[in-house]
Structure 1
Amino acid sequence: MRKDTRNPAVSARLTAWLARTTAVAALALGASQALAADGVKIGVLNDQSGVYADYGGKWSVEAARMAVEDFGGSVLGQKIEIVSADHQNKPDIGSNIARQWYDVDGVDMITELTTSSVALAVHELSKEKKKIDIVVGAATSRLTGDACQPYGFHWAFDTRALAVGTGGALTKAGGNTWFFLTADYAFGYQLEEDTTKLVKEEGGKVLGSVRHPLNNNDFSSFLLQAQASQAKVVGLANAGLDTTNSVKQASEFGITAGGQKLAGLLMTLAEVHGLGLKASQGLVLTEGYYWDLDDKSREFGERFFKRTQRMPSMIHAGTYSAVLSYLKAVKAAGSKDTEKVAAKLKELPVDDVFGRGGKVLANGRMVHDMYLFEVKKPEDSKKPWDYYKLLATIPGDKAFFSLAESGCPIK
Structure 2
Amino acid sequence: MNKTKATLLASAATVLATTAGAQEISDDTVKIGMILDLSGAYSALDGQGSIAAVEMAIEEMGGEINGTPIELLTADHQNKADIGSNLARQWADQENVDMILGGANSGVGIALQDITSEKEIAYINNGAATAALTNENCAPETGLHWTYDTDALANGTAVAMVKEGKETWYFITADYTFGHKLEENAAEAVTANGGEVLGSVAAPFPTQDFSSFILQAQASGAQVIGLANAGTDTQNSVKQAQEFGVVQSGQSLASLLLFLTDVDALGLDTAQGLTLTTGFYWDQDDAAREWSNRFEERHGAKPTMVQAGMYSSALNYLKAVQEAGTDDAKTVVAQLKEMPIEDAFARNGRVREDGLMVHDMFLAQVKTPEESEGRWDYYNIIRTIPGDEAFRSLEDGTCEAIKG
1:203 aligns with 2:185: no
Following superposition, the deviation at residue 36 of structure 1 comes to: 4.9
1:249 aligns with 2:206: no
1:47 aligns with 2:37: yes
2:91 matched to which residue of 1?
Answer: 101
For 1:115-172, what per-residue CA distance to the aligned partner results, in whole angstroms no more than 9, with x for missing partners?
Answer: 0000001101111101110000000001001111121000000000000000110111
Following superposition, the deviation at residue 214 of structure 1 comes to: 0.7
Following superposition, the deviation at residue 64 of structure 1 comes to: 0.5
Following superposition, the deviation at residue 313 of structure 1 comes to: 1.1
State how far apart, in whole Å, the 1-side matches of 2:40 and 2:26 are: 32
2:185 matched to which residue of 1?
Answer: 194
Using the aligned pairs only, state the percent identity. Answer: 53
| Amino acid of the structure 1 residue aligned with 2:204 | P
2:113 matched to which residue of 1?
Answer: 123
State how far apart, in whole Å, the 1-side matches of 2:177 and 2:374 are: 37
| Amino acid of the structure 2 residue aligned with 1:272 | V
1:324 matched to which residue of 2?
Answer: 315
| Amino acid of the structure 1 residue aligned with 2:146 | W
Moved over 3 A (4+): none
1:29 matched to which residue of 2?
Answer: none
SS in 1 for 2:346: coil
Highest CA radius of gyration, 1 or 2?
1
Q: What is the TM-score when the length of structure 1 is the normalising length? A: 0.91
State how far apart, in whole Å, the 2-side matches of 1:276 and 1:112 are: 28
1:177 aligns with 2:185: no
1:90 matched to which residue of 2?
Answer: 80
| Amino acid of the structure 1 residue aligned with 2:383 | A
Contact 2:99–2:329 (Cα < 8 Å) also in 1: no
Following superposition, the deviation at residue 374 of structure 1 comes to: 0.3
1:146 matched to which residue of 2?
Answer: 136
State how far apart, in whole Å, the 1-side matches of 2:382 and 2:257 are: 17
For 1:356-386, what per-residue CA distance to the aligned partner results, in whole angstroms no more than 9, with x for missing partners?
Answer: 2201111110000000000000011012210
Contact 2:26–2:327 (Cα < 8 Å) also in 1: no
1:369 aligns with 2:369: no
For 1:242-299, what per-residue CA distance to the aligned partner results, in whole angstroms no more than 9, with x for missing partners?
Answer: 0000000000000111111111101110111110100000000010110011111110
Unaligned runs of 5+ in 1: 1-34
Report 1 or 2 for greater relative contact order, CA contacts < 8 Å, sequence distance ≥ 6: 2
Contact 2:39–2:78 (Cα < 8 Å) also in 1: yes
2:384 matched to which residue of 1?
Answer: 393
State how far apart, in whole Å, the 1-side matches of 2:367 and 2:393 are: 33
Contact 1:36–1:107 (Cα < 8 Å) also in 2: no
State how far apart, in whole Å, the 1-side matches of 2:235 and 2:246 are: 15
Contact 1:117–1:186 (Cα < 8 Å) also in 2: yes
Following superposition, the deviation at residue 112 of structure 1 comes to: 2.0
1:266 aligns with 2:257: yes
1:360 aligns with 2:351: yes
Following superposition, the deviation at residue 403 of structure 1 comes to: 1.6
Contact 1:268–1:313 (Cα < 8 Å) also in 2: yes
State how far apart, in whole Å, the 1-side matches of 2:37 and 2:239 are: 22
Following superposition, the deviation at residue 230 of structure 1 comes to: 1.1
1:72 aligns with 2:31: no
State how far apart, in whole Å, the 1-side matches of 2:299 and 2:155 are: 32
1:37 aligns with 2:27: yes
Unaligned runs of 5+ in 2: 1-24
1:161 matched to which residue of 2?
Answer: 152
2:9 matched to which residue of 1?
Answer: none
State how far apart, in whole Å, the 2-side matches of 1:283 and 1:73 are: 41
Contact 1:76–1:335 (Cα < 8 Å) also in 2: no
For 1:204-247, what per-residue CA distance to the aligned partner results, in whole angstroms no more than 9, with x for missing partners?
Answer: 00011000111100000000000111111110000000000000
State how far apart, in whole Å, the 1-side matches of 2:396 and 2:71 are: 37
1:224 aligns with 2:212: no
Contact 2:98–2:328 (Cα < 8 Å) also in 1: no
SS in 2 for 1:59: helix
SS in 1 for 2:200: strand
SS in 1 for 2:138: coil
| Amino acid of the structure 2 residue aligned with 1:165 | G
1:110 aligns with 2:92: no
SS in 1 for 2:101: strand
Q: What is the TM-score when the length of structure 2 is the normalising length? A: 0.92
| Amino acid of the structure 1 residue aligned with 2:137 | A
Comparing 76-85 and 244-253, the one that deviates more: 76-85
Following superposition, the deviation at residue 401 of structure 1 comes to: 1.4
State how far apart, in whole Å, the 1-side matches of 2:147 and 2:204 are: 25
Superposed CA RMSD: 1.2
